[in-house]
Amino acid sequence: MLDKQHILERFLGYVKIDTESDPKSNSTPSTEKQWKLAKKLAKELKDIGLSDVSIDANAYVMGTLVSNVNHKVPAIGFISHFDTSPDFTAANVKPQIIENYNGKDIVINAEKNIVLSPDYFEDLLLYKGQTLITTDGNTLLGADDKAGVCEIVSAMEYLVNHPEIKHGPIKVGFTPDEEIGRGAHKFDVEKFGAQWAYTMDGSQIGELEFENFNAASAQICIEGKIVHPGYAKGKMINSMYYAQKFIQGLPINERPENTEGYQGFFHLHSIEGKVEKTILKYIIRDFDLLRFKARKEMVVSLTNQLNNEFKEVGFTAEIKDQYFNMKEKVTPLMHIIDIAEQAMKSLDIKPLIKPIRGGTDGSQLSYMGLPCPNIFAGGHNFHGRYEYVPLESILSATKVICKIAELTQKRYQ
């Protein structure tokens, strides 16, 4: 039986440590404050009794739970990131505990009239009667992905204390800077030593994901001419007006707010504009590799078209691939999905197998030689003041980790 209060206190301790990452920084980790939790995790793993615990120069934490069986079992891994998103502040997180949730509105900040309501966030109704952990409305919570970190540490502790549960070697890894797309960049796959792994970084209970977007960034630069506005007739070229031509040139129905499921999109997430120069920053996403390539080609084609149409203006496009769909690397090894699915079903958790409309460390790790599907960590409404996680989902994910370990060794008996 998992110690509910002990796990709750562990999670609360993690989220109170500010680990926000910074996309403008070139260091790893991108913020010094991430070291505090990294060092805490390394110490915890040692205290629990894991072997080969290490924390490298870039704050990647690894450890091993040694096998307790005599037969050969492949080493498997569990990975989570400990940074939080720069989309919203993680300073001075003050978690609130809502016990026996009644299915109604939760006033998370009365002073600012901030309400977490099932009328808007329908998923809340899945957790009536459960214990919810919310923000106080001023910060994000950090369940993405400190819930995953908590689940992995708690599962390792439980397995150490319950040697009657047989398992092979288990590797655990905690990474910085996942939220800014760099979580896997300096991950030492060879040192980690697992044949496959699972990121504990999903959302709703039951999620099991092995498909994600192919992803690229696109930066569009529009060059105009600045002239004194009093003498600008026939001379000024306002780049911001021409930026609109590019924005309108991409299909409106292929924006994130108009897509779902397997539909890809073009997402304009930043505009920096002055008369002389405007920069548009997009992310490009699609599950299908051919459609992904077509989207990138559309950006180039539109750039060329506008250059031909408005010869006095300069349009340039810079496109960079970010990550690819892990499906290609995971489907040849579908037994790793089968084991996770069986683990959930044995715990009366309904598996929700669906694509990730985003990316995880696992998508990059899969292409680095470590096939790495994604499992729910339990949180909802990531990256903002409405983030919450049911304590029962954290406990369930912890049990899933233990069950995967047990089922893997049984498969190789």
pLDDT tens per residue across span 206-239: 999 999 999 999 999 999 999 999 999 999 999 9
Q: Are strands 314-323 and 352-353 parallel, antiparallel or unpaired?
A: unpaired
Q: Is the pTM of this model over 0.85?
A: yes
Percent of the chain with pLDDT over 70: 100
Task: Respond yes or no: is residue 83 known to be catalytic.
Answer: yes
Crossing angle of helices 391-411 and 143-161, rounded to 10°: 50
Torsion of CA 216, 361, 54, 395, to 10 degrees: 160
Domain 214-323 grouped into CATH 1.10.10.60: no
Of 145, 178, 209, 387, which residue is the catalytic one?
178
Q: Is 230 exposed, middle or buried (0-12, 13-18, 19+ CB in 10 A)?
A: exposed
Which pLDDT belongs to residue 359? 77
pLDDT per residue over 161-179, tens digit each?
A: 999 999 999 999 999 999 9
Determine contact, residues 76/372, Cβ cutoff 8 Å: no
Outline where DSSP puts E strands in 120-163: 132-134
At residue 109, the 3 state secondary structure works out as strand
Distance between CA atoms of 147 and 202, rounded to whole angstroms? Answer: 10
Beta carbons within 8 Å of 69's beta carbon, 6+ residues apart: 166, 167, 168, 409
Torsion sign, CA atoms 146, 152, 155, 160? negative
pLDDT per residue over 45-59, tens digit each?
A: 999 999 999 999 999
Distance between CA atoms of 322 and 362, rounded to whole angstroms? Answer: 13
Q: Does the pLDDT value for residue 187 go beyond 80?
A: yes
Domain 4-211+325-411 grouped into CATH 3.30.230.10: no
Beta carbons within 8 Å of 332's beta carbon, 6+ residues apart: none
Domain coordinates of the chain in residue numbers? 4-211+325-411, 214-323
Q: Does the pLDDT value for residue 330 go beyond 90?
A: yes
Of 20, 22, 83, 209, which residue is the catalytic one?
83
pLDDT per residue over 90-109, tens digit each?
A: 999 999 999 999 999 999 99
User: Mean per-residue pLDDT for 151-163?
Assistant: 98
